Structure 1
Amino acid sequence: MDSSTKKQLHIAVFPWLAYGHTAPFLQVSQFLAQKGHRIYYVSTPKNISRLPKLPPNLSSDISFIPLSLPQVDGLPPGVESTSELPIHKVPFLKNAYDKLETQLTEFLKSSPQIKLIIHDFAQHWLPHVATQLGISLVYFNILNASSTAFFVPPSEMHAKSRQSPEDFTVVPKWMDYPNNIAFKFHEMAGHKVCEDSTVSDKERVQTVLLNCKIMALRTCYEFEPEALRLLSKSLQKPIVPLGLLPPSLPSVEDKADENWEALKKWLDSKEEKSVFYVALGSEMNLSLESMHELAYGIEKSELPFVWVVRKPSFVQQQSEEDTIPRGLEERVSNRGLVLRDWAPQLKILAHSSIGGFLTHCGWSSVIESLGLGKPLILLPGVIADLGLVARLMQWKKVGLEIERNDRDGSFTSDAVAESIKRVMVDPELRVNADAMKEIFGNIELSNKYLNEFTRALEILN
C-alpha cells in the first residue's frame, strides 16, 4: 500500500494485567503509531502508570484509556496486576478483568472510528462485543510458537484427551518434529491453582482464537520454523510472527544510574565472561527452603556473580534478611554482589564480564539474554509457559536446566552449582548463544516482521 494514500487506522490495544503482557503490547503500539496509525491503549490506571514514558514524537498518537478495575470478593483492594498477587489469587484478578466488559463497551461505542482491537488471551467476552460493533479482532499471543503449538491445535480444542497434570508431561502427538516441549508434573500442578474455575484459560484461548481474524506471535521463522509451520498448517487463519521485539539499550530506564556506575566499576574489574547474573523476575515466589538451596548453590559454584534478589510484593512471611541464609553475603563478598529490588538488567547483561544468566525463563528475559549472546541457566517458574520455554532453550542448546524433582520441583544446591559451572564453561552453549545475537538482538529483523504485521492490519481493515 502506498504510504501517501494509506488510510490511518484507529486501533484499540487491550492487554492482560501483567507486565510481561503490557510492555510488549506497548512496543507494538509504538511501532504502529510510528507508521501513522492512531492507538488507544486500554488498561487500568496502575498498569498504565508503570509503563515506560512515550517518546515525545509519539505522545499525540497514542492515547491511554484507563478503566477502573471493579472490586470483587477475594481480590485485595488496590491490586491491579499479577505481580501483586500470589498465584492462587490470580483467578480473582481474572474475575475482575472480566467485569471490565461494560466500561470497554461504553468506550468503544463512544469511539466509532475504532474498527480494530489487538487483544490478549483472557477476553473471552470480547468477540460478542466486537461483533455487535462491527470491530475486527487480532489476537496478540505473547507466547512463542512452540508453547502455542503445545496448547492450541484445533483438533484438541474440544477434546478430552488431556485432563490430568500427567497428560501435559509428554510431547503432544501433533508436534510431529523432534522436540522436548512438555511440562514437568510440578509445573502443571502449580499452574492449576491460577486457573479461574468459572472460565478456564483453555476456554478463554479457544474463544479468542476462534473469533480473531489474525493471530500474532512474539517469535520469528529464523528461530522456530517448525512450530510456526505447524501452526500455519493446523489453524484455519493467518499466523503472523511479530518478531522478537528486542529492547534497545538507550531506551532502558535510568532510575538506578547512580548505582550503575559503582556496579559497572565492579564488573569492569572482572575477566570477560567470568560472571554469571541471577534474576528470577518480579513474580516467581520460591519457598524459603528453595531460596536457601539456590543461595548455597550460587556459593558452591565458586564463580563471580551478580544476584538481584526481589521479594514479590505480596510475600509477607519472611524479612529481606531471611531470604538469603545469614552469613552467606559476608562469605561471598569478595566475589559476588547481592542487589536488592530493581537493577538495570539489560545494562548488566550487555557487560562483557557477564558469561551466563540464571533465569526464571520469562520470554522477555530470555530474549534480552540471547539478544546479547549470553547462555542460560534455566530455573523455570510454574506460571504460564515458563517450563516450556526452559525445554525449548535446552533443545536449542542455548541453555541448561537445573535438575529438579519432577513431582515437587525441589532442587539441591549441588545441582545449582553444577549447572552454573557447566553453562559458564561449555563451549557449545557459548557458541550457540552467541550466534543467537543475529536473531534475538536484530532490530532490523524485528522491524521487518513488524512491517509485515502492519501491512496485514492495513489489508484486513
Structure 2
Amino acid sequence: MYRQQRTVSLHVVVFPWLAFGHIIPYLELSEHLAKRGHFVTFISAPRNLAKLRPILLELKPRIRLLPLSLPPVDGLPAGAESTADVPPEKVELLKIAFDGLAAPFAAFLAAACSGEDIITGEEGHGHAKKPDWILLDFAHHWLPPIAGEHEVACAVFFIFPAASVAFMGPKELNDAHPRSSPADFTVPPPWIPSPSCLAFRGHEAEWIAQAWKPNASGVSDLGRTWEVVDGQLVPLLAELYGKPVLPSGLLAPYAAAALASSATGAGDDDDEETVSLMRWLDAQPERSVLYVAFGSEAPLTPEHVAALARGLELAVAGGVRFVWALRKAIGEETPPLPDGFERRVAGRGVVRVGWVPQVRVLAHAAVGGFMMHAGMSSLMESFLFGHPFVMLPLFADQGLTARLMAERRVGLEVPWRGGGGGELAGEDVARTVRRVMVEEEREVFARNAKELQEVLWDTARQERYVDELVEHLRRLRIISAFSIAAVYAASWEVMRDEAVRGEEQGDLWRALSLRGLIGQGSQVHWCASASSGAADETDALACAKRKQTREWGQQRFRIEPADSENNDTYGRLRPAEVALLFPSSLLKNQTYQPTGHGGSRDQESRSRRRRRISPFPRRGQWRS
C-alpha cells in the first residue's frame, strides 16, 4: 500500500511532450501523486486529453486536466496534436507548434502563482495554490526560464533509458568530443567505459545523427534536452554522482494487467473483431503464440512489412503461431501485405489492422512471446506477463535498449543486413522468432523473463519507491527555491537478475525495480548556495549527506578535489568516469533495498560501507 502523506499537499504541474508514449507514463505518475494526497494539473493539447483513459473516480478531484491549444503551423495537418497524427517527417512541424505554447503556459503559470487561476468547486482548492513543482519533458527548452521567473522548481521526467542519457552525454562533453556524422554514433562515446555495447547500427545512426542537428523548429532535439537539463545550474550527467538519486518506481499499468489476467475469453462489451481474436486465442495451445506489434508510431516501410510477413510465414512452417497488430501508415488505406499472405497462414496466424487490446492479448495463456520495437512501454508490459521477446528496433534509442536486453538474455534482436544499412530479411526474422519461441534456447529466455516478472509484481516495493520520491520532492522544494532535477527512465543496461545462479546473489540494480531515477540537479555547491530561506537543519542534513558520500565517491570515481574545502562539495567528475553509473558489470553482487528492506547499517563494518555501489544511501541502502 502507498503511504498517505501527512504533510502539506504539493501542487504539481505535469506537462509531457505531445506523444502518447510520453503522455501515458506522465499520467501514471500523476495518479501516484494524487493517491498520496497531492494535487496535479496535467497539461496537454485538447484532443490528447480527450483520448486519455478515464481517471479513477476517487482521484478525479485531485487531477485537473488543463488543455492548451496548439497554434496553427504551415504544413501541419489541421487537428494534429500528437506524433500519432503526423508522419515522421512532419514531427518537426509539431515541435514548432509545441514551442508556440510558451506564451499560453507563461500566462497560466503567472495566474497560478498570483492566485488569479480561479478553480471552482470545493475540490479545486489544492489546484488554486501556487505550484510547487513542474514536471516537464525533453522538449520544453523554453519552460525553465518561465518557471524561474516565478521561483517554481522544475523536474525533467525522461522516459528514455538511462543508457540513452549516458550515450547522449551533457553538452560540455559533446562540445569537447563533437559528433556530427552517422559513423560517430556507431561506436560508444569516449566517456562510456570499454568494453560496451552502447552503440547504434548504421541505419539507426542516421536517424540519431539528425537529432543532433537543428530541425524546422530551429532547435535540435538534443539542444532542447540540454536547455532543460543543464539550464543555468549544472551539466547533469557530469555531476550526477555528486547528487542524491532516488527511484520513482515502475509506474506500470498494474491495475489493467491484473484485470486482464483475471479475465478469460471475450467480454460482453467487445466488438466483433475483438471477440473473434480472443476466441482464436482460446483455441491455441499454451505459450504457442507470438504477439507482434510495433507501437503506434513505428516507421515501418513497405519493405519492412514484406520482410516481416515472409519471416512470419517461414516461422509458421516451423511451428510458430502469431497475432500481428498491424498499423496502417498515415494516409494509407490498407497495409502493404504480400498477396495471399493471410490465406497462406490461415489457422496459425492472425492479422488485425488497427487497434488491438494489447494488455489483454499479452495476458492470455496462449501467448508466449512478444515481437516489438524495444520501446520502454512495450518492454514493461512484456515483463509484467513474463514473456521473452523478439526485438526489431526502428528509431530513436530503441537500438541501445535492444542491445542491452539481448545481453540480459531475455530475448533476441533481429539482425539487419547490408553492413548496417537497414536491410531486413525474412529469413533472419524467421530464424530469430524460432529461437525465442520453439527451439531449445526458448527455455532460457522464458526463465529469465519470469524472474523479472516476479520482481516487477512486487507492488509494495514499488509503492515505497514512490513514497520516497514524493518525500524527496517535498524536501528539495524546501532546500532550494529553484532547482532543476531529472527523473530518468529505467536504465535497462544496469539491470541485474533477481537470482544469479551459483554463489552470486544479486538484484536488478535501481533501474529494474523502477521506472525512473530522480537526480537532484541543483547547484554544484549545494550546501553553500542553498536558498537563504531554507531551514538550518535542512542545510545541515544536506551537508551531512555530502560528507557521508565524499570518501566513497573519491575512491570509486576518482573525483578531483573541490576548489574550496569550505564549500563542502565534490569536485567535478573526470569525463572518462561519467558513465560508470551505467555498466551492469559494476553491480555484480550488490542488492538495492528501499526503506524497510535490508539489514541494520550499524551491523556493517566500515570496509563494507566503502564497498557500497550507491553514493546516495539517504533512504535506501546497498548491501553485498
Fold conserved (TM > 0.5)? Answer: yes
Name 1:31's counterpart in structure 2: 32
Question: Which amino acid is the alignment partner of residue 315 of structure 2?
Answer: S
CA distance in 2, matches of 1:156, 1:11: 32
Given candidates 373, 376, 393, the residue that maps to 2:389 is: 376
Name 1:274's counterpart in structure 2: 288
CA distance in 2, matches of 1:238, 1:428: 36
Following TM superposition, by how much is the alpha carbon of 1:160 offset from its aligned partner in structure 2, in angstroms?
A: 3.8
Name 2:143's counterpart in structure 1: 126
CA distance in 1, matches of 2:381, 2:234: 26
Name 1:435's counterpart in structure 2: 451
Name 2:430's counterpart in structure 1: 417
CA distance in 2, matches of 1:412, 1:130: 50
CA distance in 2, matches of 1:149, 1:160: 14
- Secondary structure at 1:175's aligned position in 2? coil
Distance 1:26 1:170, change over 3 A: same
Following TM superposition, by how much is the alpha carbon of 1:124 offset from its aligned partner in structure 2, in angstroms?
A: 0.7
CA distance in 1, matches of 2:368, 2:435: 11
CA distance in 1, matches of 2:159, 2:8: 27
Name 1:361's counterpart in structure 2: 374
Distance 1:60 1:460, change over 3 A: same
CA distance in 2, matches of 1:256, 1:183: 41
TM-score by length of 2: 0.67
Following TM superposition, by how much is the alpha carbon of 1:265 offset from its aligned partner in structure 2, in angstroms?
A: 2.8
| 435-444 or 17-26: bigger deviation | 435-444
| 426-435 or 45-54: bigger deviation | 426-435
Question: Which amino acid is the alignment partner of residue 149 of structure 1?
Answer: A
| 386-395 or 170-179: bigger deviation | 170-179
Is the Cα–Cα contact under 8 Å of residues 139 and 212 in structure 1 kept in the other structure? Answer: no
Following TM superposition, by how much is the alpha carbon of 1:16 offset from its aligned partner in structure 2, in angstroms?
A: 0.2
Following TM superposition, by how much is the alpha carbon of 1:19 offset from its aligned partner in structure 2, in angstroms?
A: 0.3
Given candidates 243, 247, 266, the residue that maps to 2:249 is: 243
Q: State yes or no: 1:136 paired with 2:153.
A: yes
Q: Point out the structure with max Rg over C-alpha.
A: 2
Name 2:297's counterpart in structure 1: 283
Following TM superposition, by how much is the alpha carbon of 1:237 offset from its aligned partner in structure 2, in angstroms?
A: 4.2
CA distance in 2, matches of 1:409, 1:370: 28
- Secondary structure at 2:76's aligned position in 1? coil
Distance 1:77 1:260, change over 3 A: closer
Question: Which amino acid is the alignment partner of residue 432 of structure 2?
Answer: S
Within a 5 Å distance, the mapping from 1:58-207 to structure 2 comes to 58-112=59-113, 113-153=130-170, 155-176=172-193, 178-192=195-209, 196-197=214-215, 198-207=218-227
Following TM superposition, by how much is the alpha carbon of 1:73 offset from its aligned partner in structure 2, in angstroms?
A: 2.0
- Secondary structure at 2:61's aligned position in 1? coil
Instruction: Give CA deviations for 1:366-387 in whole Å, capped at 9, x if unaligned.
Output: 11002211111011111x2111
Is the Cα–Cα contact under 8 Å of residues 213 and 238 in structure 1 kept in the other structure? Answer: no
Following TM superposition, by how much is the alpha carbon of 1:179 offset from its aligned partner in structure 2, in angstroms?
A: 3.6
CA distance in 1, matches of 2:293, 2:80: 24
Is the Cα–Cα contact under 8 Å of residues 376 and 423 in structure 1 kept in the other structure? Answer: yes
TM-score by length of 1: 0.89
CA distance in 2, matches of 1:214, 1:155: 10
CA distance in 2, matches of 1:365, 1:420: 17
Given candidates 369, 386, 389, the residue that maps to 2:398 is: 386
Given candidates 450, 471, 480, the residue that maps to 1:455 is: 471
Name 1:225's counterpart in structure 2: none
Following TM superposition, by how much is the alpha carbon of 1:441 offset from its aligned partner in structure 2, in angstroms?
A: 3.9
Within a 5 Å distance, the mapping from 1:231-380 to structure 2 comes to 234=240, 237-248=243-254, 249-250=257-258, 256=270, 259-302=273-316, 303-312=320-329, 314-316=330-332, 319-320=333-334, 323-380=336-393
Identity of aligned residues (%): 39
- Secondary structure at 1:400's aligned position in 2? strand
Instruction: Give CA deviations for 1:44-67 in whole Å, capped at 9, x if unaligned.
Output: 001111111101101110001100
Structure 2 residue runs without a partner (length 5+)? 114-129, 478-624
CA distance in 2, matches of 1:3, 1:244: 19
Is the Cα–Cα contact under 8 Å of residues 95 and 196 in structure 1 kept in the other structure? Answer: no
What is the aligned length? 441
Question: Which amino acid is the alignment partner of residue 294 of structure 1?
Answer: L
Distance 1:338 1:67, change over 3 A: same
Following TM superposition, by how much is the alpha carbon of 1:240 offset from its aligned partner in structure 2, in angstroms?
A: 3.2
CA distance in 1, matches of 2:222, 2:166: 13
Distance 1:44 1:238, change over 3 A: farther
Following TM superposition, by how much is the alpha carbon of 1:269 offset from its aligned partner in structure 2, in angstroms?
A: 2.1
Is the Cα–Cα contact under 8 Å of residues 243 and 450 in structure 1 kept in the other structure? Answer: yes
Following TM superposition, by how much is the alpha carbon of 1:457 offset from its aligned partner in structure 2, in angstroms?
A: 1.0
Question: Which amino acid is the alignment partner of residue 264 of structure 1?
Answer: M
Question: Which amino acid is the alignment partner of residue 386 of structure 2?
Answer: G
Following TM superposition, by how much is the alpha carbon of 1:340 offset from its aligned partner in structure 2, in angstroms?
A: 1.6
CA distance in 1, matches of 2:234, 2:377: 22
Distance 1:153 1:395, change over 3 A: farther
Is the Cα–Cα contact under 8 Å of residues 170 and 230 in structure 2 kept in the other structure? Answer: no
Distance 1:212 1:50, change over 3 A: farther
Is the Cα–Cα contact under 8 Å of residues 18 and 83 in structure 1 kept in the other structure? Answer: yes
CA distance in 2, matches of 1:267, 1:4: 44
Following TM superposition, by how much is the alpha carbon of 1:250 offset from its aligned partner in structure 2, in angstroms?
A: 5.0
Alignment RMSD, CA only?
Answer: 2.5
Is the Cα–Cα contact under 8 Å of residues 370 and 441 in structure 1 kept in the other structure? Answer: no
Is the Cα–Cα contact under 8 Å of residues 88 and 193 in structure 1 kept in the other structure? Answer: no
Following TM superposition, by how much is the alpha carbon of 1:188 offset from its aligned partner in structure 2, in angstroms?
A: 2.3
Instruction: Give CA deviations for 1:336-390 in whole Å, capped at 9, x if unaligned.
Output: 11112111111111122211111011110011002211111011111x2111111
Is the Cα–Cα contact under 8 Å of residues 246 and 443 in structure 1 kept in the other structure? Answer: no
CA distance in 2, matches of 1:160, 1:446: 38
Name 1:223's counterpart in structure 2: none
Distance 1:330 1:23, change over 3 A: same
Question: Which amino acid is the alignment partner of residue 287 of structure 1?
Answer: T
CA distance in 2, matches of 1:234, 1:293: 43
Following TM superposition, by how much is the alpha carbon of 1:264 offset from its aligned partner in structure 2, in angstroms?
A: 3.0
Within a 5 Å distance, the mapping from 1:217-232 to structure 2 comes to none
Distance 1:238 1:124, change over 3 A: farther
- Secondary structure at 1:17's aligned position in 2? coil
Name 2:46's counterpart in structure 1: 45
- Secondary structure at 1:283's aligned position in 2? coil
Question: Which amino acid is the alignment partner of residue 391 of structure 1?
Answer: R
CA distance in 2, matches of 1:239, 1:161: 28
Is the Cα–Cα contact under 8 Å of residues 152 and 206 in structure 1 kept in the other structure? Answer: no
Distance 1:460 1:272, change over 3 A: same
Is the Cα–Cα contact under 8 Å of residues 115 and 134 in structure 1 kept in the other structure? Answer: no
Is the Cα–Cα contact under 8 Å of residues 10 and 38 in structure 1 kept in the other structure? Answer: yes
CA distance in 2, matches of 1:452, 1:257: 42
